[in-house]
Amino acid sequence: MKSSEVRKKYLSFFASRGHVIIPSSPLVPENDPTTLFTSSGMQPLIPYLLGALHPAGKRLVNSQKSFRAQDIYEVGDNRHTTFFEMLGNWSLGDYFKKEQLPWIFEFLTKDLKLDPKKLYVTVFTGEAGSGSARTGQSLIPKDIESIQLWKEIFSRVGIDAKIGDHASSADARIYTYNARKNWWSRSGEPDKMPAGEPGGPDSEVFYDFGPSTSSGQVWHDSKFGEKCHPNCDCGRFMEIANSVFMQYQKQADGSLKELAQKNVDFGGGLERLVSVTNNSPDVFTSDLFTGAIATLEQMTHKHYAADETDTRSMRILADHIRGAVMMMADGVIPSNKAQGYILRRLIRRSLLYGRRLGITEDWKYIGELVAPFAKIYEDSYPDVLIKTQQIKLLLEEEGMRFGKTLEKGLSEIEKIETLDGHKAFYLYESFGFPWEMTEEIARDRGQNIKRTQFEEEFMKHKDASRTAAAGMFKGGLADHGEETTKLHTATHLLHEALRRVLGEHIAQKGSNITAERLRFDFSHPTKVSSEEIQKIEAMVNEKISENLPVFSTTMKKEEALASGARAFFSERYGITVTVYSVGEKGREFSREICGGPHVAFTGLLGRFTIVKEESLGAGIRRVYATVTKNESAAHPGKISSKA
Ligand code: GLY
């Protein structure tokens, strides 16, 4: 089946059972700064699972865009992806196990037409084993009710479902596991749940690819254990559905308390469900990926399934570009912090694996992978199609920016026989080659490089790089005279005002300052309208009239970036950087990594005017601006000192 068909069937199955279809929340969670991405369907619904009333009622269903950054290194096998769609249905204190389990079985076997004989289920075994699910002092019991329900469900289709565990014989149908496998919360088993987190035992459905091998033999690789079972990692089984009985909340004292309402939280990965309808263990053969894989085949003149290493590279590229596209459609842009940093890592890894497929020169190829995803998500996520040009441009820009670093770094790495933390630092400091990439390449080579060695070097170079950082911006300044210094501070105000008026996508592309004027280049897809120019000027002039203090602090580059300081080509900075802030401490209007110098108070700048705005082509705009003398400046014009 096609993905659109599976998605539609699922939504209408639950809609016809009283569920309201709710839209997917954005990939970047709204009002939840604790996580970078929405990583499950239940995440936006937590308040309602805990008891708040949902405006759409007690039965909800949707397909949620999700992203799991922690799976980035797993991608490349036949089933892991970073971005995925999670089909979810919820009972907010309404129905429970006896409705949920038969419904899921009916959906899988009737609507998706899966052969019941290929389905195996798992149920929570209680405290036995290493799990530690407790309420107060009592243990959370074995889920006898679900076992009984599954026995009845299977018997209705003529299957005598035997009960077993991972060590018992292979003819069991219902397997029991401890909390490590059959307990779900966003942070895993009960011991790992933070106070306040909801969770509960779950019951999963697995699809068996085993008996369908051409030889008729049951497929099991004994290196994963003597006996095969649903949670065996040999690849025979794939988890396709997870009904969580979300009825507990972790307490500050470490115990689990029953919630006032018993909820059902179902999650089923769309990619996997589509693959099993086609009896394929490879999610990358589903229609969600075929367009991108075909494009890659054309580009590389290689066949997807011809060579294991190439297959892996194609999967990584297809997954990472899809993830990047979906993030950008939701407004994320490449940067050095938070979501933007994960996006940057996806794009950089794509370029690395592109090179491994033999695409060495033309970084623009990554832009060609946007169209297949725009097409496949045309109806479900139309934003991808609407923003195609913008996404392509951002991808290509990032590709161009990192492509050269990658080329240089890789040719240097080839010369190094044994990689270690010291060498990783050398690559980072000399070529801006990211630590993660050296680490990944060493891992592929079977070399284990230590982060501690890298950090040691980092500290040793602190003083030397402080000097380097201070020199950075001198290139953009004609001199350190009074007028140039004022215009330099005005440039910081302008940069921030551009972002606030035009959007977070604004990135500095260049800066040149003389005693007469400032010149500033930045990424922006369209002409800046005269209304926007007025707004930007007004914002800068407001900050000038507030006479804000300008001060600098020295910190590690990572700290500066994490604190939200703006950076211009941050790969080029040293390890220790100076951050110039405009505004009272804690209420800064702007923070930028920069070598100075700056005026001490913005009141010294005089009136700010944008005199010209023009295009530099390829999504880059240039503005010229001046400041006039302000006789009523409240403070004498001195160069600011360190705070
Ligand atoms: N919320 C259930 C799951 O993600 O599997």
Q: Would you say residue 548 has pLDDT above 90?
A: no
At 265, phi and psi to the nearest 5?
-130, 105
Q: Are 577 and 595 in contact (CB under 8 A)?
A: no
Kindly state if the Cβ of 40 falls inside 6 Å of ligand 1: yes
Q: Where are the alpha helices (DSSP H) in 159-233?
A: 179-182
Which of 265-279, 400-414, 566-580 has the weakest average pLDDT?
566-580
Per-residue pLDDT averaged across 377-382, rounded? Answer: 94
Q: Are 601 and 549 in contact (CB under 8 A)?
A: yes
pLDDT-derived band at 411 (thresholds 50, 70, 90) equals confident
pLDDT-derived band at 214 (thresholds 50, 70, 90) equals low
Per-residue pLDDT averaged across 378-401, rounded? Answer: 93
User: Whose CA is closest to 346, among 380, 319, 314?
Assistant: 319
Q: How far is CA 629 from CA 515, 592, 604, in A?
A: 12, 25, 8
Ligand 1 atom closest to the Cα of residue 184 is: 2
Taking residue 415's Cβ as centre, other Cβ atoms within 10 Å add up to 6
Q: What is the CA radius of gyration of the chain?
A: 28
User: What is residue 514's DSSP assignment?
Assistant: -
Task: Provide the pLDDT for residue 569.
Answer: 54
Kindly state if the Cβ of 38 falls inside 6 Å of ligand 1: no
Kindly state if the Cβ of 269 falls inside 6 Å of ligand 1: no
Q: Whose CA is nearest to atom 3 of ligand 1?
A: 267
Do you know the residue count of the chain? 643
Q: Would you say residue 633 has pLDDT above 50?
A: no
What distance in Å separates the CA atoms of residue 105 and residue 102, rounded to the nearest whole number? 5
Q: Whose CA is nearest to atom 2 of ligand 1?
A: 267
What distance in Å separates the CA atoms of residue 144 and residue 126, rounded to the nearest whole number? 9
Greatest mean pLDDT range, 33-37, 288-292, 419-423: 288-292
Which of 29-33, 174-178, 518-522 has the weakest average pLDDT?
29-33
Q: Which residue of 182, 184, 187, 245 sits with most ligand 1 atoms within 8 Å of its CB, as the best mutation to test the pocket?
A: 184
Taking residue 138's Cβ as centre, other Cβ atoms within 10 Å add up to 9
Return the percentage of the chain with pLDDT > 90, whole number.
Answer: 55
Task: Provide the pLDDT for residue 223.
Answer: 84
Per-residue pLDDT averaged across 141-155, rounded? Answer: 97
Q: Whose CA is nearest to atom 1 of ligand 1?
A: 267
Per-residue pLDDT averaged across 194-206, rounded? Answer: 94
What distance in Å separates the CA atoms of residue 230 and residue 89, rounded to the nearest whole number? 23
Q: Which residue of 87, 89, 239, 265 sits with most ligand 1 atoms within 8 Å of its CB, as the best mutation to test the pocket?
A: 265
Which residues of 501-642 form beta strands (DSSP E)? 508-513, 518-523, 550-556, 576-582, 590-593, 608-617, 620-627
Per-residue pLDDT averaged across 554-558, rounded? Answer: 79
Cα 400-404-405 angle, rounded to 5 deg: 115
Q: How far is CA 257 from CA 52, 185, 369, in A?
A: 17, 14, 48
What distance in Å separates the CA atoms of residue 29 and residue 36, rounded to the nearest whole number? 7
43 alpha carbon to ligand 1 midpoint, in Å? Answer: 9
Query: Per the omega criterion (within 30 degrees of 0), is the bond before 636 cis?
Result: no
Structure tokens at 324: 């990047």
User: What is residue 111's DSSP assignment?
Assistant: I
What distance in Å separates the CA atoms of residue 475 and residue 464, rounded to the nearest whole number? 19
Q: Whose CA is nearest to atom 4 of ligand 1?
A: 267
User: What is residue 474's DSSP assignment?
Assistant: G
Q: Would you say residue 631 has pLDDT above 50?
A: no
41 alpha carbon to ligand 1 midpoint, in Å? Answer: 7
Structure tokens at 545: 């009239």
Q: Are 520 and 622 in contact (CB under 8 A)?
A: yes
Kindly state if the Cβ of 437 falls inside 6 Å of ligand 1: no
Phi-psi region of 619 (alpha: psi -120 to 50; beta: other; left: phi over 0): left
Kindly state if the Cβ of 394 falls inside 6 Å of ligand 1: no
Taking residue 291's Cβ as centre, other Cβ atoms within 10 Å add up to 17
Contacts of 407 (CB under 8 A, 6+ apart): 360
Which of 18-27, 202-211, 398-407 has the weakest average pLDDT?
398-407
Structure tokens at 410: 């890789």
Stronger pLDDT, 196 or 168, i.e. the higher one = 196
396 alpha carbon to ligand 1 midpoint, in Å? Answer: 35
Taking each helix axis from N to C end, the angle separating 287-300 and 308-329, rounded to the nearest 10 degrees, works out to 120
Kindly state if the Cβ of 366 falls inside 6 Å of ligand 1: no
13 alpha carbon to ligand 1 midpoint, in Å? Answer: 19
Kindly state if the Cβ of 242 falls inside 6 Å of ligand 1: yes
Kindly state if the Cβ of 384 falls inside 6 Å of ligand 1: no
Q: Would you say residue 433 has pLDDT above 80?
A: yes
pLDDT-derived band at 305 (thresholds 50, 70, 90) equals very high
Contacts of 458 (CB under 8 A, 6+ apart): 425, 575
What distance in Å separates the CA atoms of residue 36 and residue 339, rounded to the nearest whole number? 6
Q: Would you say residue 469 has pLDDT above 60?
A: no
Stronger pLDDT, 590 or 516, i.e. the higher one = 590
Ligand 1 atom closest to the Cα of residue 41 is: 1
What distance in Å separates the CA atoms of residue 239 and residue 275, rounded to the nearest whole number? 12
Structure tokens at 525: 């897809």
Which three-class secondary structure string do you get for 32-101?
A: CCCCCCCCCCCHHHHHHHCCCCCCCCCEEEEEEEEECHHHCCCECECCCCCEEEEEEEEECCCCCHHHHH
Residue 75 identity (one-letter amino acid): V
Residue whose entry in the numeric block shows the structure tokens 């580009």: 299
Per-residue pLDDT averaged across 85-103, rounded? Answer: 98
202 alpha carbon to ligand 1 midpoint, in Å? Answer: 9
pTM for this predicted structure: 0.70
366 by Cβ neighbours in 10 Å (0-12 / 13-18 / 19+) ranks as: buried
265 alpha carbon to ligand 1 midpoint, in Å? Answer: 7
Q: Which residues of 92-131 are buried (b: 16+ CB within 10 A; e: fewer)?
A: bbbbbbeebbebbbebbbebbebeeebbbbbbbbbbeeeb
pLDDT-derived band at 76 (thresholds 50, 70, 90) equals very high
Q: Would you say residue 496 has pLDDT above 80?
A: yes
Q: Would you say residue 48 has pLDDT above 90?
A: yes
Average pLDDT for the chain = 87
User: Whose CA is closest to 598, among 497, 509, 473?
Assistant: 473
Task: Provide the pLDDT for residue 575.
Answer: 65
Task: Provide the pLDDT for residue 218.
Answer: 61
Task: Provide the pLDDT for residue 63.
Answer: 97
Q: Would you say residue 642 has pLDDT above 80?
A: no
